[in-house]
Amino acid sequence: MTGMVDVMVVGGGINGVGIARDAVGRGLSVCLCERDDLAAHTSSASTKLIHGGLRYLEQYEFALVGKALAEREVLLKLAPHVIWPLRFVLPHESHLRPAWMIRLGLFLYDHLGRRRSLPGSRRIRLEGNPLGAPLKPQFHTGFVYSDAWVQDARLAVLNAMDAAARGAEILPRTRCVAAVRSAGHWQVTLADAAGRERTLTARALVNATGPWAVRFLDEIAHVPHTHTLRLVKGSHIVVRRLFEHDHAYIFQQPDRRIVFAIPYEHDYTLIGTTDVDYHGDPAQVHIDAEETAYLCAAVNRYFRRAIAPADVVWSYSGVRPLLDDHQQNASEVTRDYRLELDTDGAPLLNVFGGKLTTYRRLGEEALDLLANVLPTRGGAWTSDPAQPLPGGERDPNALADAWRAQRPWLTASLAWRLAHQYGTRGERILGEAGSLDALGIAFGAELYQAEVDYLREHEWAQTAEDILWRRSKLGLHVTPADAARLAAYLADTQSAAAGTA
What residues line the site for ligand FAD (CB under 6 A)?
A: 10-16, 33-36, 39-43, 45-49, 175-176, 208-212, 216, 220, 234, 273, 318-321, 354-357
Q: How far, in Å, CA of 201 to CA of 455, rounded?
A: 30
Helix runs in 264-340, H state only: 289-300
CB of 445 to ligand FAD, least distance (A): 25
List Cα–Cα distances, 157 to 21, 101, 201, 269, 341, in angstroms: 11, 39, 25, 24, 26
CB of 151 to ligand FAD, least distance (A): 12
Q: How far, in Å, CA of 192 to CA of 205, rounded?
A: 19
Q: How far, in Å, CA of 175 to CA of 165, rounded?
A: 22
CB nearer ligand FAD, residue 59 or residue 449: 59
CB of 164 to ligand FAD, least distance (A): 17
Q: How many CB atoms lie within 10 A of CB 288?
A: 13
Q: How far, in Å, CA of 86 to CA of 248, rounded?
A: 7
CB of 240 to ligand FAD, least distance (A): 22
CB of 181 to ligand FAD, least distance (A): 15
CB of 14 to ligand FAD, least distance (A): 5
Q: How far, in Å, CA of 233 to CA of 280, rounded?
A: 10
CB nearer ligand FAD, residue 335 or residue 417: 335
DSSP state of 447: -
Strands 197-207 and 4-10: parallel
Q: How far, in Å, CA of 146 to CA of 86, rounded?
A: 6
CB nearer ligand FAD, residue 34 or residue 364: 34
Angle value at C-alpha 101, between 95 and 105, nearest 5 degrees? 135
CB nearer ligand FAD, residue 126 or residue 207: 207
* Distance of alpha carbon 254 from the chain centroid: 28
CB of 35 to ligand FAD, least distance (A): 4
CB nearer ligand FAD, residue 33 or residue 205: 33
Q: How far, in Å, CA of 237 to CA of 313, rounded?
A: 8
CB nearer ligand FAD, residue 49 or residue 439: 49
**Ramachandran angles phi, psi of 202, nearest 5°:** -130, 140
CB of 285 to ligand FAD, least distance (A): 9
CB nearer ligand FAD, residue 126 or residue 362: 362
* Distance of alpha carbon 149 from the chain centroid: 10
CB of 322 to ligand FAD, least distance (A): 8
CB of 364 to ligand FAD, least distance (A): 15
Q: C-alpha dihedral over 302, 306, 311, 314, to 10 degrees?
A: 0
CB nearer ligand FAD, residue 295 or residue 467: 295
Q: Is the dihedral of CA 456, 461, 462, 466 positive or negative?
A: negative
Q: How far, in Å, CA of 180 to CA of 310, rounded?
A: 50
Helix runs in 188-267, H state only: 213-215
Q: How far, in Å, CA of 338 to CA of 340, rounded?
A: 6
CB nearer ligand FAD, residue 7 or residue 430: 7
CB nearer ligand FAD, residue 354 or residue 426: 354
Print the SS3 string covering 53-64.
CHHHHHHCCHHH
CB nearer ligand FAD, residue 212 or residue 448: 212
CB nearer ligand FAD, residue 331 or residue 472: 331
CB nearer ligand FAD, residue 20 or residue 447: 20
CB of 67 to ligand FAD, least distance (A): 11
Q: Which residues pair with 314 in a beta bridge?
A: 238
Position 45, amino acid: A
Residue sitting closest to ligand FAD (CB): 13
Position 325, amino acid: D
* Distance of alpha carbon 385 from the chain centroid: 20
**Do 25 and 48 form a contact (C-beta atoms < 8 A)?**
no
CB of 320 to ligand FAD, least distance (A): 4
CB of 362 to ligand FAD, least distance (A): 9
Q: Is the dihedral of CA 165, 67, 335, 100 positive or negative?
A: negative
Helix runs in 115-183, H state only: 152-165
